Chain A
Amino acid sequence: MRYITVFILSLIFWLLLTFKLTVPNIIVGAVASLICSLIFTRFFISNVYKLLQPHRYFWFIIYLVVFIWECIKANLDVAYRVLHPAMPIRPGIVKVKTTLKSDLAKTLLANSITMTPGTITVDIIDDYLYIHWIYVRSEDPEVYTGLITGAFEKYIKRIIE
């Protein structure tokens, strides 16, 4: 099952690269995808059945909208801090506990946090994310956990777990 998934994903990637639907192209792509699936399947994500459940894609689209909105807000915030003559920054590293269980979900959360300006994920150790923040708004763990991961976490849980 995992082999077939990797095969189909590689073939789709090949067709997007070449963008031609001729017979030799598809044959060459199929052979290349076969080699790719034989080599790289054991490094691929383990639970591929979730790729077939359509409601996850629905939540993913909603998550994209939420993410872009958060991104715009963070952009304006960072632009304000940069352009302000007094430079009101208060940088620091905070330790955030996440409720997500799977590794892929943690990675998606970390990448989302890194993509929004102002926050950068430094490391993940077990359930804790170490995040560098340009303006540490509060030092209470519950408050800053809600501020940083609150917008993303529930959608990511619906997408991946």
Chain B
Amino acid sequence: MIVYWLCFILFLVGLYGVITRRNLVKIAISLSIMEFSTFLFFALVGYIDGGVAPIVDPADPVKVYVDPLPQALVLTAIVIGLATTSMLMAVIIRLYRKYGTFDIREIKNLRG
């Protein structure tokens, strides 16, 4: 049970960063931390004690496998996470070239 709680605390750390930080790069980092905690939660839900990785060996059928469904969902989500992070980075580098700062409040005040 404590693993679930720690995973949730990791999520909360990311949420805290998103809300309180003013630097755009740190907001992106906090978002990716929230993503990672979600991936970890999915992988934790699917784990079974004594299970093996979900790869069937035809010569030696083992009875218990780890749940493959959350793993498949996370597999697609990781690559989407890379795409969204790089898109966020593209927006950030554009904003930096235009305003010369990463601070989100200054950008709001500049109204360029």
Touch test A–B (CB under 8 Å): no
Chain A positions within 8 Å of B, measured between CB atoms, are: none
Chain B positions within 8 Å of A, measured between CB atoms, are: none
